[in-house]
Every structure is written in structure tokens, then in C-alpha cells.
Amino acid sequence: MRIKYEVFLPKNKQQLEDFIQRISRKNPVKHFIIRVFPEYIEDEELVQIIVNYQSQIKQFKKNKSLVFWTKQDFENLPDYVSIAPTEEEALDIIDFEEIERDLLSEY
């Protein structure tokens, strides 16, 4: 069974902020991969959004995965942020996070 996920492609900073606010409800039904292109959202903007919306991202990740798909190399991002250079690697992260949540729920 393949996991349910959706790829979101924000065209600017405001679209990404609105998206994160919208998905931060308590019981998400699918995982999200956010495809970030530097021509739409600069590195500094992405880092600032992650910092500003850390509580919403953490809340979402309690139930589902949120992976940023970008070729940019970010070294100093917090632990709760998942970054992948390809869609396939983003799916691998989702799989691993699902297993981790399942194991934690058993204890």
C-alpha cells in the first residue's frame, strides 16, 4: 500500500505561509511534500517561515509527515524539519516517520 501524500508547489512566501497555517489542523489525513524552488522562495525566506511556524509544523508532524523537497543545502535547520533533494527521498522520509510514529504509539 502506498502512502497518501500530496505535493504542494508554493509560488511565493505568502502561499507557503497560508498553506502551513491551513494544514496545521489537529487530524490531517495525508502527508505533504512541499516542493520549494529558490526562484519562488529564497533560502532566507524559507528558513524564516520554518522558524515562524515551528509550532504549526510540529503539531502537524505529530500525525503526518511534512517534507520540504529542495536541492538547497540547509545545514542548521531544527530537528523537526525534514528536507529531501528528490521526491523519492521525500517518500522514504515519510515511510520512516510513519514507522517511527507507529513504534512510539505502541509504548
**Extents of the domains making up the chain:** 5-105
Average pLDDT in the chain: 90
pTM: 0.90
Given the candidates 3.40.50, 1.10.150, 3.30.750, 3.40.720, the CATH classification of the domain at 5-105 is: 3.30.750
pLDDT in tens, 43-82: 899 999 999 999 999 989 989 999 999 988 787 788 899 9
Taking residue 105's Cβ as centre, other Cβ atoms within 10 Å add up to 7
What is residue 55's predicted lDDT score, i.e. its pLDDT?
Answer: 92
Residue 14: the pLDDT is 96
Q: Is the pLDDT of residue 1 over 70?
A: no
CA 106 to chain centre: 24
